[in-house]
Amino acid sequence: MELVEAIILAVLAASTPLLIAATGELVTERSGVLNLGVEGMMIVGAACGFAGAWLTGSILIGALFGIVAGTLMSLVFALMALGLAVNQVATGLALTILGIGLSGLIGAGFVGERITPAVHLYIPGLTDMPLIGRVLFGEDGFVYFSIALIIGVWWFLYRTRAGLILRACGDNHVSAHALGYPVLRIRTFSVMFGGACAGLAGAYLPLAYTPFFIPGMTAGRGWIALALVVFASWRPGRLVVGAYLFGAVTILQLHAQGWGVGIPSQFMSALPYLATVIVLVLLSRARTGGSTAPAALGTVFVPDR
């Protein structure tokens, strides 16, 4: 029972940054913008989040530093891709390269430093319950926030008029503009939301997952978050399943190495990314009715008036 509980807790911890980052990217892509710079925003959020927490001693301030850093990075993308109508794919890739270099510069002075990680919830009587106690009532605030975030995004997209307008911009920006909706403004706010989520997801890594910062600690999680949006068919409910599934694959390869399974460690380390490729291939073959992506995803929009 203790082993099962430990594995579940590890899966939740590994899945939380994927869920937060993918939720932000889902909103961004629902508005019609393809931002491939999630990895860059996450790693800058990790560096700034750790720096903020180390300098102030507050995990909350560190998280805010990560959010602000991700948002500022997203504004660079918005300026180029929306303001200047530059190709979104090229801009996103450039943002990732910029973020990797910038994070190394920001975090250079903090490599080797440690902080006290985010505290976990403890409710006497409930947290001590076997198996489910620590899973439901013993997590850190980031885990609970990720669940609240995906619920809030689902409600916003499918239960509010503003969410309907945002999805309309992603499906047909010309028609949305003709109806008088500010497409570029809506997309800018969506990109900023995605950047804030990516920055928070990156900050989670040194603030709660591992209490220190090392260069490149996101280790491709931003790319997995991008794949999760496709895996979920741009639907929040499926995003939860995908995030925990990929988190479970990550933890599985770690435990398999610990159990001495006779498989090369390099292959086990590549297993989460191999699973990402396999899932995307299977999904593309299974969709016989055409793509479920927003129709205007990645298409440059320049208002005619």
In a domain, 72, yes or no: yes
CB atoms within 10 A of CB 304: 6
Given a cut of 80, whether residue 279 has pLDDT beyond it is no
- Residue of higher predicted confidence among 258 and 273: 273
Distance CA 99, CA 41 (A): 6
> Does residue 47 lie within any of the structural domains?
yes
How far is CA 238 from its chain centroid? 14
Name every residue whose Cβ is closer than 8 Å to that of residue 56 and which is 6 or more positions away in sequence. 62
* Residue 269 within any structural domain of the chain: no
pLDDT(184) > 60: yes
Residue 25 parent element (H or E): helix 2-30
Residue 275 lies in a domain: no
d(C-alpha 183, C-alpha 83), whole Å: 12
- Print burial letters for 144-182: b (CB count within 10 Å at least 16), e (below 16): ebbeebbeebbebbeeeeebebbbbbbbbbeebbeeeee
Residue 58 lies in a domain: yes
Average pLDDT score, the chain: 90
Answer yes or no: is pLDDT of 290 > 60: no
Q: Which DSSP string corresponds to 224-248?
A: HHHHHHHHTTT-HHHHHHHHHHHHH
Q: How many residues does the chain have?
A: 305
Q: How is residue 26 written in tokens? A: 């889902």
**146: in domain:** yes
DSSP reduced 3-state for 120: strand
Please report the pLDDT score of residue 265 as a whole number: 64
2-11, 87-96, 98-107: the lowest-pLDDT one: 2-11
Domain contains 285: no
Q: Is the pLDDT of residue 66 over 90?
A: yes
Predicted TM-score (pTM) of the model is: 0.92
Dist. CA 37–CA 191, nearest whole Å: 11
Strand, coil or helix: 42: helix
Q: Is 199's pLDDT higher than 70?
A: yes
The total number of structural domains in the chain stands at 1
Structure tokens at 86: 């530059």
Segments forming the whole domain that contains residue 32? 2-117+132-222
Q: Quick one: how far is CA 76 from the chain centroid?
A: 18
Identify the band that residue 302 occupies on the pLDDT scale cut at 50, 70 and 90: confident
Would you give the DSSP letter of residue 111? T
% of residues, the chain, pLDDT over 70:
92
Structure tokens at 125: 């009587």
Whether 289 shows a pLDDT value over 70: the answer reads no
How far apart are the C-alpha atoms of 163 and 73, rounded to whole Å?
Answer: 24
232 inside domain: no
